[in-house]
Amino acid sequence: MMRSNIIGMGYAVPDRVVTNSDLEKIMDTTDEWIVTRSGIQERHWVEDGTGTSDLAEAASRKAMKMASVSPEEIDLVIVATLTSDYFFPGIGNQLQEKLGLRNIGTFDIKVACSAFIYGLSIGDQFIKTGQHNTVLVVGAEVQSTALDLSTEGRDISVLFGDGAGAVILRREEGESGILSTHLHSQGRYLKELWCEAPASRFNPRISKEMIDERRHLPYMNGREVFRNAVKRFPEVINEALDANHLDLEDVKLIIPHQANLRISQAVGKRLGTAPGVVYSNIHKYGNTTGASIPIALTEAYQEGKFTKGDIVILAAFGAGFTWASAAIRW
Ligand code: UT7
């Protein structure tokens, strides 16, 4: 059977490390609060002038190197990001130029924390229909430039980090590859995690008054997001297992979107997984939105957490609300 196989992976984070004690110096927060509530110890933030496409390029180059794929071979680029370098266009076309790819199709998808799995799913469909052989799927974010670093913004700003991860999908015959993907959304919760402006709904799209009212900054109702996340993660992981007639015992690793260590622990508890099955690297990177799953996938692979033949489940939940999963046989 023809499947989309992940033949290369890579990730990139900015050099600048921001620890919890660095944040203690600029807002009223503590290392103890951040670690206890989220598991985050440090995150990477860009220096001024670095854009999301720069991180995406670095991660993509590593994935292409691992896959031994040349620029000419890539047929399509899908970028999962909420934070394109400019208001428009997205960064897919910047990536096409930076990587020296042919004049192929490129596009961004804006599905927040679930976007990388949505991107995998779209890439998988192009491969399954036979339209494309080699697809680059990237998750990349620069969140740090949208954070309020005063005490008023502390509930969000301590959580987020910058980074990028990329995979190369290749059409290959065999048992390995993406087995299934499962995508969901529920627009009712739009305003529980959102950033209102700049927006086409307003003319002008952003004003001094809106900035004074902090409507250009992300807003999150943390408790409501948490409550929904711990329900949707197990649900969509079980959906992936059921679709493939798999049991939890068949799964080597579950890689959830890295939003909060407590969410991942609650998911493991609800599912009843053995210790170590739910992967976490949030302590090093914080929440990197669309980038967190490909960063975690690459790190877990490099750490030898899974190998040929293993079943790996990816799962995400985030703004929208949106949630998704993917079952992969390595
Ligand atoms: O990737 C997108 C998906 N996002 C998520 O999945 C995030 C889901 N939510 C969460 O992870 C958690 O709700 C948070 C980590 C955001 C917050 O944890 P919490 O246990 O729900 O805390 P809380 O919002 O109920 O705040 C508790 C207290 C508040 O003070 P009072 O009202 O009890 O006096 C906050 O003002 O903690 C205060 N607080 C802080 N204190 C120190 C909020 N942020 C901070 C901070 N440092 N950074």
| 156 C-alpha to ligand 1 centroid (Å) | 8
Q: Show me where the domains of the chain are located.
A: 2-174, 179-329
- Residue 126 has a pLDDT of 98
CATH of 179-329, one of 3.40.47.10, 3.40.30.10, 3.40.50.300, 3.40.50.150: 3.40.47.10
- Residue 309 has a pLDDT of 97
- pLDDT of 1 above 90: no
Q: What is the three-state SS of the chain?
A: CEEEEEEEEEEECCCCEEEHHHHHCCCCCCHHHHHHHHCCCEEECCCCCCCHHHHHHHHHHHHHHHHCCCHHHCCEEEEECCCCCCCCCCCHHHHHHHHCCCCCEEEEECCHHHHHHHHHHHHHHHHHCCCCCEEEEEEEECCHHHCCCCHHHHHHHCCECCEEEEEEEEEEECCCEEEEEEEEECHHHHHHEECCCCCCCCCCCCCHHHHHCCCCCCEECHHHHHHHHHHHHHHHHHHHHHHCCCCHHHEEEEEECCCCHHHHHHHHHHHCCCCCCECCCHHHHCECHHHHHHHHHHHHHHCCCCCCCCEEEEEEEECCCEEEEEEEEC
Ligand 1 pocket, Cβ-based, cut-off 6 angstroms: 29, 33, 37-38, 113, 154-155, 158, 222-223, 225-226, 229, 259-260, 263, 287, 318
- pLDDT of 231 above 90: yes
Is this model's pTM higher than 0.95 or not?
yes
- Write the pLDDT tens digit of every residue in 97-122: 999 999 999 999 999 999 999 999 99
- Write the pLDDT tens digit of every residue in 255-267: 999 999 999 999 9
- Write the pLDDT tens digit of every residue in 58-75: 999 999 999 999 999 999
- Residue 37 has a pLDDT of 97
Best of 21, 155, 186, 195 for a ligand 1 pocket test (most atoms within 8 Å of beta carbon) = 155
Q: Regarding the domain delimited by 2-174, which CATH topology (the fold level of the hierarchy) does it fall under?
A: Peroxisomal Thiolase; Chain A, domain 1 (3.40.47)
| 157 C-alpha to ligand 1 centroid (Å) | 11
- Write the pLDDT tens digit of every residue in 161-207: 999 999 999 999 999 999 999 999 999 999 999 999 999 999 999 99
* Catalytic residue numbers, as ranges: 113, 257, 287
Ligand 1 atom closest to Cα of residue 29? 47
| 160 C-alpha to ligand 1 centroid (Å) | 13
- Write the pLDDT tens digit of every residue in 295-327: 999 999 999 999 999 999 999 999 999 999 999
Average pLDDT of the segment spanning 19-28 = 98
What's the mean per-residue pLDDT of the chain? 97
- pLDDT of 251 above 90: yes
- Residue 286 has a pLDDT of 98
- Residue 177 has a pLDDT of 98
